[in-house]
Structure 1
């Protein structure tokens, strides 16, 4: 569906290296490591970005797992993967190196230390993004790590922008990811992600307002269609993200909202209908969503929940669109629910 030529071996090669030892492990054996990338501990998740311009991209979120995994061993394996990718695709590592001592420790806390997103577009070399865990030294240390990371990257003013718009409810709003694009283009981004526990639409509408030119009502329309209501979303949290580039001196160019749709539907048939409701509003093609789903599974949509894990809305001058995140369900399919932790006004 994304138009990759049959002789393009880069996507498969990169995926194989990204997964490390986990990629060669038979699915009849349990996971090597309890990765938090997917609900069933599979260390990979696929997504398709549907840009308003008509462009498409396939993305792979993954965690590199060594043969003998552990917190320190996983970090070392991830850095080996990163070094090889940088040599192969001429990636930019100076910004990674500027902040790695903040976020990479031999005794990390939390569910991960270093993840990668591989972005694949036909006719282009793979692009890479790294995700650090702001809570890797404990939840209390996250604000300081984020502030220092932004300062080192020439984006000191970004911290104040985020706190003024997205960190207004105490412990209910918290930093969840600190991400970097690894290229040297003019739109190479630093991205900050904030989780919003039990948030209503107003919380993320206010967060979206930090980006000039973004209409926060589009966030409400997205939640109404894909989430089924305006909240509160009391299951897995809504997540905001901001994209910053150095030339903008701390002013975000894009806002994204991530809805963990699997927590707010009884099964994937319902999730698909919700996503299609948003697609209809946004003018996106339903057939392409179904082609993406068919590329991952042939099971009936009503037979489980979690295949469609997230759906996100992107708004701003760096590009507007929707991304649908699909679990491989390599190790398990979650059973449908009879009761749902529904958002208000469903």
Structure 2
């Protein structure tokens, strides 16, 4: 997990007792550290009522759908089901758990996936079991997945096939199960993200190997392990569940102290002419040759058409750790969209709808920017947006000092 950041410098949001005033609408300005004192007479909706996490997330998701041109009526009932364990949590209170999904430990992250010549796809990832009790978190998450299966949104067959590997009775690690929903062409699709270290970090590789073998991708593991030998190793194991044209199995690997050339080399696990574009993308988003703060993350995806090697590769660049503020992060995301001939106006609309704060008043709203190659589709650029339900990280006044430490960090791990 990433450490919490210090509060913003003294300014108009400062209260007499030295704490930061919680803003009327989360995401609109700096607030106190969740471990510190929190004023209980704010965190209210525009009508003056106490704001709940579910209301906050639904408002942001509606704004994302509007920016993408997706009907809200499709999204709302599924979001109600997915958010049911979380929806009544008050934003007057500190986060009830140290969720890895977002820097402020919000259990939600949003994203827009952009493909040239097509409308962007809105997506939301959440941690239904928002508790530090990982066994209970896994049970809650699986229960939500099963309720969505009852609605015909997904099938839990592959999840049940792997439950002993990823959802044991006494799990290890910082999370158990995340759930993601996306809405391409008006059709809901679902994914789950599981923890390779559920039986302990020393068994992550064995867990991934066994899971791939059970799903018919055992031959892919030796090549995949070559890219997880550096510190950080396997981060996430993900499954497409439900109505997907070609359901994927995805494995995420963290790369500490990686360069653009290293990222290009990792992408060669998937055949194709994309490595040069991958290296260029690192420079475009991070503006550094070697990333020594929050690490790059590779996602290797597998389908039945290509069971022994990746059929898709995504590189996640943690832009928030390589910029001073979200205005700079937005500009880099826009540059990436334009590089691939993609209209950036939906991103501008999404940012305006998700937060009311100035982009230069914080950093971390734009968490990751990702480039995906999956033949025969054109390259896809995805921009991940933090909910900022509990806290806004203050902007940096200069580029952050490099260090070799830090965790891979909260992220929405789509792709």
Structure 1 length as normaliser, TM-score? 0.92
Larger radius of gyration: 2
Alignment match of 1:200 (pick from 259, 262, 268): 259
SS in 1 for 2:182: strand
**C-alpha separation between the residues in 2 aligned to 1:89 and 1:162?**
33
Q: Is contact 2:135-2:176 (8 Å) kept?
A: no
Higher relative contact order (CA 8 A, sep 6+): 2
Alignment match of 2:375 (pick from 299, 309, 317): 317
Alignment match of 2:163 (pick from 100, 107, 113): 100
Cα deviation code 1:122-155 (max 9, x no counterpart): 421x111010111122211000000000000000
**C-alpha separation between the residues in 1 aligned to 2:156 and 2:296?**
30
SS in 1 for 2:233: strand
Tell me the residue number matched to 1:74: 137
Tell me the residue number matched to 2:225: 163
Is 1:152 matched with 2:214? yes
Deviation of 1:292 (Å): 1.4
**C-alpha separation between the residues in 1 aligned to 2:203 and 2:401?**
32
Which deviates the most, 12-21 or 253-262? 12-21
Deviation of 1:157 (Å): 1.2
Cα deviation code 1:184-221 (max 9, x no counterpart): 64510000110001111122111111111242010111
Q: Is contact 1:226-1:278 (8 Å) kept?
A: yes
Tell me the residue number matched to 1:142: 204
**C-alpha separation between the residues in 1 aligned to 2:303 and 2:343?**
31
**C-alpha separation between the residues in 2 aligned to 1:250 and 1:56?**
31
**Cα pair distance change 1:254/1:36, threshold 3 Å:** same
**C-alpha separation between the residues in 2 aligned to 1:292 and 1:218?**
26
**C-alpha separation between the residues in 2 aligned to 1:323 and 1:40?**
21
Deviation of 1:230 (Å): 2.1
Structure 1 segment 202-217 matched on structure 2, within 5 A: 202-217=261-276
**C-alpha separation between the residues in 2 aligned to 1:130 and 1:318?**
24
Tell me the residue number matched to 2:339: 281
Structure 2 length as normaliser, TM-score? 0.77
**Cα pair distance change 1:342/1:56, threshold 3 Å:** farther
Tell me the residue number matched to 2:90: 26
Is 1:179 matched with 2:238? yes
**C-alpha separation between the residues in 1 aligned to 2:230 and 2:217?**
24
Paired residue total: 336
Is 1:303 matched with 2:367? no
Gaps of 5+ in 2: 1-66, 404-415
Deviation of 1:13 (Å): 2.4
**C-alpha separation between the residues in 1 aligned to 2:354 and 2:217?**
39
Alignment match of 2:301 (pick from 243, 255, 273): 243
Cα deviation code 1:143-193 (max 9, x no counterpart): 0000000000000111122124x23xx442511000000026451000011
Tell me the residue number matched to 1:15: 79
Q: Is contact 2:189-2:243 (8 Å) kept?
A: no
Q: Is contact 2:205-2:225 (8 Å) kept?
A: no
Which deviates the most, 129-138 or 42-51? 129-138
Deviation of 1:263 (Å): 0.7
**Cα pair distance change 1:88/1:295, threshold 3 Å:** same
**Cα pair distance change 1:318/1:23, threshold 3 Å:** farther
SS in 1 for 2:368: strand
SS in 1 for 2:111: strand
Is 1:50 matched with 2:50? no
Is 1:120 matched with 2:179? no
Higher helix share: 1
**Cα pair distance change 1:318/1:195, threshold 3 Å:** farther
**Cα pair distance change 1:284/1:184, threshold 3 Å:** closer
Is 1:265 matched with 2:323? yes
SS in 1 for 2:252: strand
**C-alpha separation between the residues in 2 aligned to 1:302 and 1:185?**
38
Deviation of 1:15 (Å): 2.2
Which deviates the most, 109-118 or 300-309? 109-118
Tell me the residue number matched to 2:41: none
**Cα pair distance change 1:110/1:318, threshold 3 Å:** farther
